[in-house]
Structure 1
Amino acid sequence: MIEQTLTVSRVERGIVWLVAEEKPACAGCNGKCGSQVFSKLFGSNKKALPIECNESVQVGQKMTLALDDSKVVENALWVYLLPLVVAFIAIFISHLILGASEPWQIFSAVIGGLVGFKFAKQRTKALRHDIKVIKIYPISLPLTQIDGDCAK
């Protein structure tokens, strides 16, 4: 299970919108590595994740969610592997069966990859993630006090 603690950003009729906190740069490079450069270039758009929740929560509360690992692997296989396999199949068909020249083989690989990506995108929309609420923290206490991570 993958667990993540998120903050409630808004609540609407049984749907809670959660936002992940930005991770600080690692201490090894003090923010001079490639990931920090890309973060500065492309900004830090925070995406809100909608979750159905029947419990009473307030804006600013922390919630810990868990996601089954198998769904992540299944989605990754569909999104990354299927377009590649369809592109290779398109190359083999265009070369071995149709006897096409190299530019047509490249073109068929691109078309095959796009078709595979379109199919994978439709397939992953049908997959449902089983996201479970593990813990809802009270708003009155900081998260570090609840978990016992206070520095002495």
Structure 2
Amino acid sequence: MIEQTLTVVSVKGTTATLKPQAKKACEGCNGKCGSQIFAKLFGNKEALFDFDFQQQLEPGQQVLFGLDDSHVVKSSFLTYLLPLLFAIATAIFAAEVLFLPEGWQIILAFSAGFAGYLCAKFYLKAVKHHIEVIKIYPISSSPAQIDGD
């Protein structure tokens, strides 16, 4: 299970707007890796999420969420490998069965890769990620203090 702590920014009824805590990609390379360079180039955009709770929350309160990681693996497989497999299979088919020239093989491989991307995108719209609230921290104490029980 993947866990993330979010902070309540605002509340409307039982719907709270949440902001994730900022995390650096890694600190092992002191900012010399590609992740750090891209983060500096494109800036840090704050993402806000709305979530319905069954109880009233207050701004500043922190909530620990959990995401079932089996869906993440399946989603990653579809997003990255399906277009690649479509492209490779089509390129082999165009070369070995249809005996097309190299230019046409490349065009068909790119087209099939894009078709694989569209198939993955269509399928992933139907996937529902199971997000659950693991813990709601009281406003008076930080998660580090509570987790140290």
Residue 137 of structure 1 pairs with residue 129 of structure 2 = no
Residue 90 of structure 1 pairs with residue 73 of structure 2 = no
- Give the drift of 1:144: 2.5
The alpha-carbon distance between structure 1 residues 148 and 129, as it changes in their structure 2 partners (threshold 3 A), is same
Contact persistence 1:15–1:53 (CA under 8 A): yes
Quote the residue 2:10 is aligned against. 10
Quote the residue 2:62 is aligned against. 62
TM-score (norm 1): 0.86
- Give the drift of 1:25: 7.1
The alpha-carbon distance between structure 1 residues 15 and 125, as it changes in their structure 2 partners (threshold 3 A), is farther
- Give the drift of 1:56: 1.1
Amino acid at match of 1:5: T
Quote the residue 1:104 is aligned against. 104
Amino acid at match of 2:81: L
Report matched runs for 1:23-62 at 5 Å: 23-24=23-24, 28-62=28-62
The alpha-carbon distance between structure 1 residues 3 and 92, as it changes in their structure 2 partners (threshold 3 A), is same
**What is the number of residues matched between the two proteins?**
149
The alpha-carbon distance between structure 1 residues 54 and 40, as it changes in their structure 2 partners (threshold 3 A), is same
TM-score (norm 2): 0.87
- Give the drift of 1:38: 1.8
The alpha-carbon distance between structure 1 residues 26 and 92, as it changes in their structure 2 partners (threshold 3 A), is closer
The alpha-carbon distance between structure 1 residues 107 and 48, as it changes in their structure 2 partners (threshold 3 A), is same
Quote the residue 2:121 is aligned against. 121
- Give the drift of 1:128: 0.3
Query: What is the aligned-residue identity percentage?
Result: 46
Contact persistence 1:25–1:31 (CA under 8 A): no
5+ residue gaps in structure 2?
Answer: none
- Give the drift of 1:54: 1.7
- Give the drift of 1:19: 1.8
5+ residue gaps in structure 1?
Answer: none
Find the residue that maps to 1:16 and give its secondary structure: strand
The alpha-carbon distance between structure 1 residues 39 and 116, as it changes in their structure 2 partners (threshold 3 A), is same
